[in-house]
Structure 1
Amino acid sequence: MAQGPYATRYNSTSDRLPGLGRDPESVRRRVELLERLLERLWVVPGINRPVGLDVALDIVPVVGDVIGAALGAYMVWEARNLGMSGWATTRMLGNVAIDTALGAIPWVGAIPDFFFRSNTRNLKIIRAHLDRHYPATSLIEA
């Protein structure tokens, strides 16, 4: 934790702003938003299949895969900060590793990313943990 005159002010401000705190509800909001950004940002016309930045980043060789892996690893980091078990975080890291390895295949890397949605799988793991340990953060989806 950072020390100094600004650390306390930042911590108290971030805890008051919605979605920026370290509480489970804020974490849920962040990981759901990140999953939507990475996996369900647009719908492909004609097939009505959602895609996100994870597929779009595969257009840029190497750099796109690194950025996608870093964003997936951020979800795992948020999960670890929630106190999730080592087994759950290992499964999540495995999902990110598989997605990164499949996405690294030149020219066809976007095709496996289109079907293997590691961030959606990881969100399901995080939601299960939050629903079990922090039921007040559950949202009713219409």
Structure 2
Amino acid sequence: MTRAPFGPDTIEGLAKSLPQIGRDPASVRQRVEAMEQLLEGLFTIPGTKFRVGLDTVVGLVPVVGDFVTAAMGAWIVWEGRNLGMSKFQLARMAGHIGIDTLVGAVPVVGDLFDLAYKSNTKNLRIIKRHLDKHHPATVTIDQPPVS
């Protein structure tokens, strides 16, 4: 019987050898923070305090853009599931993504909504609270963005 080229042992070994791919809570925190930054805060609109990321920019593409960013946001929920978060917390997080996707799919109104409603930021806060409570070694001091 031949062995599959990529089995669980191979994938586990690969995950351990790559930086930031670990399954430990600190690595998960870094990945989720990076995804939130990508989706919600790539840049700030000059003269305002509105952070804009892929969620807003890709959301300008009718329907498809909203579902692409919903899938990226769902990855954050999946990471929360892997941390052992409660079903209630996961449902709240999924609700944030659902609201963002449904309202974001409405032309014009949805694009404006994406500027104000930061579902991924809300989900990051939920994950951080969970990590701070259940994995205190991962606590970091949040620095304000450099202007």
Check whether TM > 0.5: yes
Q: Runs in 1 of length 4+ with deviation above 4 angstroms?
A: none
Q: 2:133 — aligned with what?
A: 132
**Could you list the runs of 5+ residues in structure 2 that have no partner in the other structure?**
none
Corresponding residue number in structure 1 for 2:117: 116
RMSD of aligned Cα (Å): 1.4
Aligned to 2:76: 75
Deviation at 1:126, TM superposition (A): 0.2
Deviation of 1:86 after TM superposition, in Å, equals 0.3
Q: Take 2:130 and 2:78, find their aligned partners in 1: how far apart are those partners?
A: 14
1:14-29 matches, cutoff 5 A: 14-29=15-30
- Tell me the residue number matched to 2:14: 13
Aligned residue number for residue 103 of structure 1: 104
Cα distance between partner residues in 2 of 1:58 and 1:13: 34
| Deviation digits for residues 79-110 of structure 1 (CA, Å, limit 9, x no counterpart) | 01110000000000000001011101012211
- Alignment partners' CA distance in 2, 1:109 and 1:12: 43
Q: Post-superposition shift, 1:5?
A: 5.0
| Aligned residue in 1 for 2:59 | 58
Secondary structure of 2:80's partner?
Answer: helix
**Aligned length in residues:** 140
Q: Look up the SS of the partner of 1:59 in the other structure.
A: coil
Task: Give the letter aligned to residue 22 of structure 2.
Answer: G
Q: 5+ unaligned residues in a row in structure 1: which ranges?
A: none
Identity score, percent: 50
Q: CA deviation at 1:61?
A: 0.6
The TM-score, its normalising length taken from structure 1, stands at: 0.92
- Tell me how far 1:67 sits from its aligned partner: 0.3
Structure 1 position 112, deviation (Å)? 0.7
User: What is the TM-score of this pair, normalised by structure 2?
Assistant: 0.89
Query: Corresponding residue for 1:92?
Result: 93
